[in-house]
Amino acid sequence: MMSFGSNAGGYCNVNYQLPRYIERKAAEFFEEEDRIKKSISTIEEFEKRRAEVKKFFFEAIGGLDFERTPLNDVCTGIIEKERYWIKNIIFQSQPGIYVTSNLYIPKNIEGKAPAVLFALGHCENSKAAPVYQKVCIDLVNNGFIVLAMDPISQGERMQCYDKEAGMNLVRWHTEHSYLGFQCELTGSSIIRYLLWDLIRGMDYLCSLPEVDETRIGITGNSGGGIQSTLLMMADERLSAAAPCTYVTSREEYMKIGATLDCEEISYGAISAGPNHDDFISFFAPKPVLIGTVDSDYFPIEGSVKTYERAKRVYRLFGCEDKVKLGVAKGTHGFNDELRQIVVNWFIETLKGEPGNFITDPNMPTEDKRLLLCTKTGQVLEEFEDARTVHDLIVDYYRKHKYSYTRDREEIKNRLKKLLNMPVCNDRIYPRISSETRIDNSHYIMDDYIQSNIAFFSEKDIIVGGIYTEIAGRRADKCTILVMDEGVNEIYREDDLLSKLLREGDVFAFDPRGAGVFKCGDMGSTTYYDMYGTEYKLNYNAMMMQKPLVGQRVFDILRACEYVRQRCPEIRLGMAGKGISSIYVLFAAVLNDDVESVYAVNMPLSYESLVTTRFYRYDVRYSLYGVLKELDIPLILDVFDNKKITCYDRPDVGSVKKWR
């Protein structure tokens, strides 16, 4: 049995072809973005772009069409200190969505005080983490009311906590992306739920008689910096903002190996915005501080670039001095120096006083148990009526689910919209790198000939596979076979290959980024794991509205063109194994000439991934908004003119035919 050697049989180095392709496509968008921004010379032009980008962004995250229900806030404990109180507050951002928080209130407030919403960065202890307590303590000691909120999947708000098991079934630091993946299939984002909690946190602050509603700011670092920039886009009540250790630029971040959490990703963010400088400049003319550290893994080069871009916008409003860049020494985190920079900036901005405060790096903090708002430590354990974000995702799906239709052209158009495939009509010039006759005298199968073939699917993208034909036979059909394991694993599929060869030739094919055309690892995480190489490539492509699924389906359609170019009269079939079965099914829908589809272990539906609370994660399923347009059962039902056969075939045991 033949196989490709390394680097597509020595024909080309595929290790970087897909990452470089995505980077080049992104560069085109970045160049156009830069041109547009440099052309803006009036406030009117800026306001027009601000409105357009914000409209696109909120549509991409699924909107914020929540009802402002009663907060039903309760205080479950009070800690009294010499100069302030800490109140443990629980409120409901939606019915059954319990938000745990600590409210820091100065003693001896005269009149109304300014307030700061503190957005917590990624940390399991969340609001109880000493590094975050110190920010709140410095602010409250300087006369600010501070609300520190546990975001989704941190502190007392773990979303994958199972009461029966008494533990989290998904690691807390992966929950945002685990839930975010389900959101994207519905055409929404985890962002909408994080944002709504923050907006309700603003509602709570504004409900306090001690708070001056005209002087409310927000700060936070890392994940809290992300949340800060999001609220800057969403809530006009904010008076000032200091997002920290997050703000860079998308173009600089693409250059490093690190990956993003799903709350940092929105559909079309590269192709249509917002970029990081948009988060800042869209806040104009209100004061903003970009807090960063000189050795952050969020590239400081991007922070400086964003600062310079934002200054140009603030200059249009005549208030260039209202955007600041604060740089502390150190690595990623809200360290002592950065904390002092931020606190002094708020003193100057919201209190109008000199910023000459000096922090105490050795200040004492509270025992984390004293800052708990619940007795059990988890809202899902504490409250019988507690709902999860997964419940909200399912609600959203059911409200926005695709409409049923039997119109095949309508389904094709929906699929084309989803896939947004590349466009290339260039002639295919195949390279046959080797050809071998396989002697099968000891097996049932006849002798056959295998050829290793590679070709350019589009500029700079090499794809290909192994073409197998029975020796001495001229077949009238060819089946294109795509497997998750790649063409080099076809030797493990003797039964499948034998079945397909009885019908005609077989072209086992690998699209870009898969099988022998899989690129090299780009980070420290396993290739297909969450935050691995496939994850990074997938989400960079999604932010360009060019999903990897669409690119791979395009390659499979080009494989059809190659087969027809090889033999114009040949009939076409398709076969897929695993997740690749979905790619094959989509290609078969879009190519009228494909007369049959044979799918092994194809997922039953996208719906099952969304409605199952604890599903098996695999980023290769990713296709933003698929469930607003169609699902696998709809295709199987409507395209009954094609012979579609689906099998679940476990490694051992029975074979189950489910269609």
At 187-213, the pLDDT tens digits run 999 999 999 999 999 999 999 999 999
Q: Does 446 fall in a domain?
A: yes
Q: Are residues 432 and 381 in the same domain?
A: no
Q: Are residues 356 and 440 in the same domain?
A: no
Show which of 400, 435, 463 is a domain's final residue. Answer: 400
Is residue 574 pLDDT above 50, yes or no?
A: yes
Angle at which helices 17-39 and 533-542 pack, to 10 degrees?
Answer: 30
pLDDT of 659: 65
Q: In angstroms, what is the C-alpha Rg of the chain?
A: 28
pLDDT digits (tens, 9 = 90+) for 377-436: 999 999 999 999 999 999 999 999 999 999 999 999 999 999 999 999 999 999 988 888
DSSP state string for 418-480: HH------PPP--EEEEEEEE--TTSSSPPEEEEEEEEEEETTEEEEEEEEEETT---SEEEE
- pTM of the complete model: 0.95
Q: Does 624 fall in a domain?
A: no
Q: Does 626 fall in a domain?
A: no
Nearest in space to 266 (alpha carbons), one of 542, 611, 647: 542
Show which of 400, 433, 449 is a domain's final residue. Answer: 400
Report the CATH number at residue 565: 3.40.50.1820
Q: Amino acid letter at 444?
A: I
pLDDT digits (tens, 9 = 90+) for 588-625: 999 999 999 999 999 999 999 999 999 999 999 999 99
Q: Does 560 fall in a domain?
A: yes
DSSP state string for 297-327: SS-HHHHHHHHHHHHHHHHHTT-GGGEEEEE
Q: Are residues 541 and 569 in the same domain?
A: yes
Whether the CB-CB separation of 643 and 598 falls below 8 Å is answered with no
Distance in angstroms (rounded) separating the CA atoms of residues 203 and 208: 9
Nearest in space to 464 (alpha carbons), one of 22, 2, 19: 2
Q: Are residues 261 and 395 in the same domain?
A: yes
pLDDT of 653: 44
List Cβ neighbours of 359 (8 Å cut-off, separation of 6 or more). 134, 138, 336, 339, 340, 343
Distance in angstroms (rounded) separating the CA atoms of residues 602 and 646: 7
pLDDT digits (tens, 9 = 90+) for 170-186: 988 899 999 999 999 99
pLDDT digits (tens, 9 = 90+) for 56-101: 999 999 999 999 999 999 999 999 999 999 999 999 999 999 999 9
Q: Are residues 237 and 372 in the same domain?
A: yes
Q: Are residues 339 and 484 in the same domain?
A: no
Q: Are residues 135 and 248 in the same domain?
A: yes
pLDDT of 652: 39
Q: Does 45 fall in a domain?
A: no
pLDDT digits (tens, 9 = 90+) for 528-563: 999 999 999 999 999 999 999 999 999 999 999 999
* pLDDT above 70: percentage of residues in the chain: 97
Is residue 442 pLDDT above 70, yes or no?
A: no
Show which of 400, 434, 453 is a domain's final residue. Answer: 400
pLDDT digits (tens, 9 = 90+) for 235-283: 999 999 999 999 999 999 988 877 899 999 999 999 999 999 999 999 9
List Cβ neighbours of 140 (8 Å cut-off, separation of 6 or more). 83, 84, 104, 105, 106, 146
CA terminus-to-terminus distance, the chain: 31
Q: Are residues 235 and 332 in the same domain?
A: yes
Q: Are residues 149 and 173 in the same domain?
A: yes
pLDDT of 651: 52
Q: Are residues 514 and 485 in the same domain?
A: yes
Q: Are residues 432 and 535 in the same domain?
A: yes
pLDDT of 430: 94
pLDDT digits (tens, 9 = 90+) for 422-440: 999 999 999 988 888 877 6
Mean pLDDT computed over every residue of the chain: 94
Q: Does 46 fall in a domain?
A: no
Tokens of 389: 């974000």
pLDDT of 657: 65
pLDDT digits (tens, 9 = 90+) for 285-297: 999 999 999 999 9
* Cβ neighbour number for residue 611 with a 10 Å cutoff: 15
pLDDT of 391: 98
Q: Are residues 475 and 370 in the same domain?
A: no
Q: Does 170 fall in a domain?
A: yes
Q: Does 36 fall in a domain?
A: no
What range defines the domain where residue 280 resides?
52-400
Q: What does the pLDDT average to over 563-579? A: 96
Give me the number of domains the chain comprises.
2
pLDDT digits (tens, 9 = 90+) for 118-145: 999 999 999 999 999 999 999 999 999 9
Is residue 658 pLDDT above 60, yes or no?
A: no
